[in-house]
Chains A and B, each alone.
Chain A
Amino acid sequence: MMNEKRNGINKGAFLVYLPAIFLFSACAQEQDEDESADDLLEAGWEEVVAEAEGTDVRFHMWGGDEGTNTYIDEWVAPRLAEEYDIYLERVPLDTEEVVQRLYTEKQAGEGAGSTDVFWLNGENFRLAKEEELLWGAFAERLPNVEEYVDMEDPDVAYDFGTAVEGLQVPWGNVQFTLFYNDEHVTDPPATYEELLAWAKENPGRFTYPEPQDFTGNAFVRQLIYELTPDTEEVLTINDPNEAEERYGEEVWSYFQELSPHLWREGETYPSSLAELDQLFANEEVWMTMGYNEGRAEHLVQNETFPQATESQLFEQGSIGNTHYLSIPYNAQNKAGAMAAINFMLSPEAQIAKLDPAMWGESMVLEPASLSAEEQEEVEAIERGDTVPDEKELNETFEPEMDASFVDWVEQHWIDEVVRESS
């Protein structure tokens, strides 16, 4: 379940491509807006559904998790076909590549794109919004959004600091969680301070992915919430230099102190979360982590992770973020896309998504807006022993910081932690 990584911040490659695109796109022309599509934003919902009937919807999404794929292929697609006569075709593509292709298509004035719906957040959303690759404010047009989603909620309204403005619709949210092996870890650390003490007592049994990795980056960033009591203050910062000035010293001194007690004495770090997972699976280290509280459940079920895997949240704040669905400006089947997204936000689809046998990911709907019956259904779903309680998740939740923090950690970590410690 590393969808977050793919959807998240990974703009390096995109920036490398940009000059190349400019180089070859000198004579691109802009294309007129598709007028009939704009009418859709005004149309009544029945009209949208009627227009969507009998169409194919091409859903481009990261495909590296069999649980997520199964949920779309075996739960969502058949029901969409049956209830709405819409045929959902899942295509495994990295979000970054989708955004980059849309960009080129925009340069070429291509009106007929091959993506109808895609899955994104963070940096990809920011780029797509800035380059006007998204269709428009369709969120409010969807009845299920109207009924069950609070688009004004700051966790939904801002995607890594970028205002959503109805251009995308939340699909799910995830929270940073530590997973530990209960056989070896009797007293799991609940703060970064306790983690440091634990690492000193158990040298070589903890490590984290280097911050080029999405999860490793979040692990480093999250310390800030323990250092500062003021969440609001963190959220106002959107400049890497300011972040360095404000938190640099404390953050880096913490990780320098931690470094010699890590796996292989901090001389090397796992380059990705998958590598850390391997170490954890082989019981070389006793903890792993993830930007998704539910990710360990099916890995325990298929015996990749030890049976004794348990979860732990950081008391002073565990970062959560929301991921979204959107429609590109040149989608050929916008009505179908709207109907499909609306279905994926229905209580039945969101409740099915919670089931660990499929995806096991959190709902994005307001619990209070659900009917008593639906609420009971949610209660009845056993998310599994490795997933923290809903209450605990809510209590420790802190919003994701501005994307500039990600850059800051990426840029400074090597200098401050790796070079200083060696």
Chain B
Amino acid sequence: MKQEAAQHKLLLLALSSCFVIPVLLLFLQSIAGEWRFPHLLPSSFSYYGWESIFQDASLVSALWTTWSLTLTVILLNLLLAFPAAKQLAFSSFRGKEMIETVLFLPIFIPALALAMGLHLTLLRIGLASTFWGVVLIHMLPTLPYTIRIVRAGFERLGSQQESQAQTLGASQVHVFFHITLPQLLPSVRAAIFLVTVISLSQYALTTMIGGGEVVTLALLYFPFAESASTQVMAAFSILFALLPLTFLFLIEGLIRLCLPYRVSKI
């Protein structure tokens, strides 16, 4: 028994050092001045990296755009995915396979190729270079995943609990908030996280459809990938990695606040 516990601890240590140490190194890199082989630690420190990021006049507005964009994309994703996933999970009808394929198609066809054509359409209907145009184009690489995840959740849940509640006289809304949603939370969490990460990292789609009017953090960050200043690059990477985390906390808080049942740890 004791040996097993020790093994457990060792494994935990090994795993966490795999994940924690690189992040620590990244942080160190962002505040390092001169840091050359074979020195284990930087020989001097500087705030140059962080300073030049926060000097960037467009940072605050880019953060704000990124936030609102990602939030809109998440909400729209859930709004569209729930009904679609439910139908796909529970009903069978003619042409179901067809619809399924169409819904998953954006994953198989390169989004960039689709975006080229969509850009023309969006230009004609006046959505190119607007916030909503970018929201729409971000649905492309995210919605298929959300539908898939939520659908798996529905299938796991089955439809019987819902029917039972309805037989007992519960309204649709009641059923959704008291039975379906609380039990689907793990799927919703997974979907939100995935959507956040995908949407945040869209560079090509955002530049193409956003046309420079919608400037997200990715637009500021990606060009620095070719910069020789490792401090700036490291600082930006940390900032970029913090975003999904803040989203995760925000959504978690919202869930705790809004749901009638405190779901014990899953």
Contact = CB atoms under 8 A, between A and B. Distances in A.
A281 to B, nearest CB: 7
A417 B58 CA distance: 44
B206 to A, nearest CB: 10
Given A28-B120, A114-B211, A278 B230 contact: yes
B123 A283 contact: no
Interface stretch (A60-68, A218-226, A349-357): A60-68
A130 interface: no
Contacts of B230: 278, 281, 304
A142 B248 CA distance: 52
Given A114-B211, A303-B33, A303-B34, A277 B123 contact: no
Interface in A39-93: 58, 60, 62-66, 69-70, 73-74, 90-93
Contacts of B129: 114
A306 B224 contact: no
Interface string B212-252: 11010001100111111111100000000000000000000
Contacts of A115: 211-212
B36 A282 contact: yes
B116 to A, nearest CB: 4
A304 B213 contact: no
A237 interface: no
B37 interface: yes
Nearest to B215: A91
Interface stretch (B48-56, B178-186, B192-200): B48-56
A281 B123 contact: no
B255 interface: no
Interface string A397-422: 00000000000000000000000000
B226 A5 contact: yes
Contact of A66 (B52, B113, B119): B52
Contacts of B215: 91-92
B44 A64 contact: no
Contacts of A91: 58, 212, 215, 219
Nearest to A18: B116
B140 interface: no
Nearest to A296: B228
Contacts of A6: 223, 226
Contacts of A305: 228
B128 interface: yes
Interface stretch (A102-110, A144-152, A196-204, A362-370): A102-110
A299 B229 contact: yes
A98 B204 CA distance: 11
Contacts, number: 130
Contact of B36 (A74, A97, A299, A306): A306
A6 B207 CA distance: 15
A20 B110 CA distance: 11
A230 B254 CA distance: 72
Given A20-B116, A21-B116, A281-B36, A114 B226 contact: no
Contacts of A105: 123, 128
Contacts of A273: 226, 228
B164 interface: no
Interface in A280-337: 281-284, 299, 302-306
Given A24-B117, A100-B208, A62 B231 contact: no
B124 interface: yes
A93 B219 contact: yes
A274 B228 contact: yes
Interface string A193-212: 00000000000000000000
B46 interface: yes
A194 B224 CA distance: 34
Given A60-B212, A115-B212, A272 B120 contact: no
B53 to A, nearest CB: 8
A23 interface: yes
A20 B113 contact: yes
B6 interface: no
Contact of A110 (B37, B128, B225): B128
B79 interface: no
A2 interface: yes
A94 interface: yes
B37 A283 contact: yes
A180 to B, nearest CB: 16
A390 to B, nearest CB: 24
Contacts of B227: 2, 64-66, 274
Nearest to B33: A303
Contacts of B231: 302, 304
B57 interface: yes
B51 to A, nearest CB: 9
A11 interface: no
Given A20-B116, A110-B123, A101 B211 contact: yes
A136 B146 CA distance: 48
B61 to A, nearest CB: 10
Given A94-B207, A114-B129, A25 B225 contact: no
A70 B36 CA distance: 27
Interface string A1-43: 0100110000000000100110111001000000000000000
B25 to A, nearest CB: 14
A27 B58 CA distance: 37
B106 to A, nearest CB: 15
Contacts of A304: 228-231
The 8 A-B residue pairs whose C-beta atoms are closest, nearest first, are A24-B117, A64-B223, A108-B123, A277-B228, A91-B212, A66-B52, A20-B116, A303-B34
15 contacts: A6-B226, A24-B117, A24-B118, A60-B212, A91-B212, A91-B215, A92-B58, A92-B220, A101-B208, A113-B211, A114-B213, A273-B228, A278-B230, A281-B228, A303-B46
Given A66-B232, A101-B207, A114-B211, 9 more contacts: A20-B117, A58-B212, A93-B207, A94-B223, A104-B123, A104-B208, A302-B48, A303-B33, A303-B46
